[in-house]
Amino acid sequence: MDRKEFCVLMAKAKQESGRGTSDISFDMKMLLPTLRRFEKGEHNFNLKKVMEYLQVINAHIQIDKDIIANYENLLAWLVDVRKTHSLSQRALAKEIECAPLTIANIEREETIISIDTFLKIVDVLGCTINIELFDVMLYVICFFYWAIICSLTIHVLDLNSRHVKLWKNITGVTIIFAVSMLCIIGCGSFPDMMWKFISITTIIGIFIWALGQIFV
């Protein structure tokens, strides 16, 4: 896949998202002419801009089964897939015909990977790339699951004591919410995010219930 073909995928995702060029320009704080050149792939733009653009339209890059939601996820994927294929930085650089220092600087975050370099790596590794929108319903499922766990936690604490103070309930809910949000922020792959959200929320709920059994 080349840069123009990648831009076609971005255009398709943009159309499916329903976001207009003016709205995207405002959210990215990018002038309209610059944004249009970016969308047409007229220059070798960097992947941070791509990820910012995709976040605005609520989309992500999917490489085979891996979902890349931000630039940090992309770098982690690059290092992981390089090691999975038993390639050194020098060997990968040779495959895509660039200097070994380029790969080293990208992985050290001293250089932002360009779209052309990224697509060369994807092609060399034989990966399939696509751009897809996030499923909003998964957000809704996570929110309702979190609400159910919070409600059950409060209910269990209240059943075990008539003297449970309000601050204990508030503390429990706050802890669940805070850790769950950290889980969401820290996970790039949305399916992974959903399952980690559910798992961690459940563990916290059980932990608070256990504290209620012991101390209440």
Domain with 61, as residue range(s), is 3-133
**Residue 215 clears pLDDT 60, i.e. is over it:** no
**Same structural domain for residues 41 and 63?**
yes
The residue that leads in pLDDT, 100 or 198, is: 100
* pLDDT tens digit sequence for 120-141: 999 998 899 999 887 655 555 6
pLDDT of residue 162: 47
**Same structural domain for residues 72 and 164?**
no
Overall average pLDDT of the 148-169 stretch: 55
**Same structural domain for residues 176 and 90?**
no
Overall average pLDDT of the 6-23 stretch: 91
Query: Can you give the CATH number for the domain in which 102 is found?
Result: 1.10.260.40
For the chain, what is the domain count?
2
Q: Which residues contact 129 (CB under 8 A, 6 or more apart)?
A: 1, 6, 9, 61, 62, 63, 119, 122
Overall average pLDDT of the 186-209 stretch: 59
Domain boundary among 105, 133, 161: 133
**Same structural domain for residues 30 and 103?**
yes
Single pTM value for the model:
0.65
Using CA atoms, how far apart are residues 24 and 130, in angstroms rounded to an integer?
A: 20
pLDDT of residue 189: 44
Give the pLDDT band of residue 157 (cuts 50, 70, 90): low
**Same structural domain for residues 18 and 108?**
yes
* pLDDT tens digit sequence for 141-156: 656 666 666 666 556 5
**Same structural domain for residues 53 and 109?**
yes
The count of C-alpha atoms lying within 13 angstroms of the C-alpha of 57, restricted to the half-sphere facing its C-beta, is 28
**Same structural domain for residues 92 and 53?**
yes
**Same structural domain for residues 11 and 110?**
yes
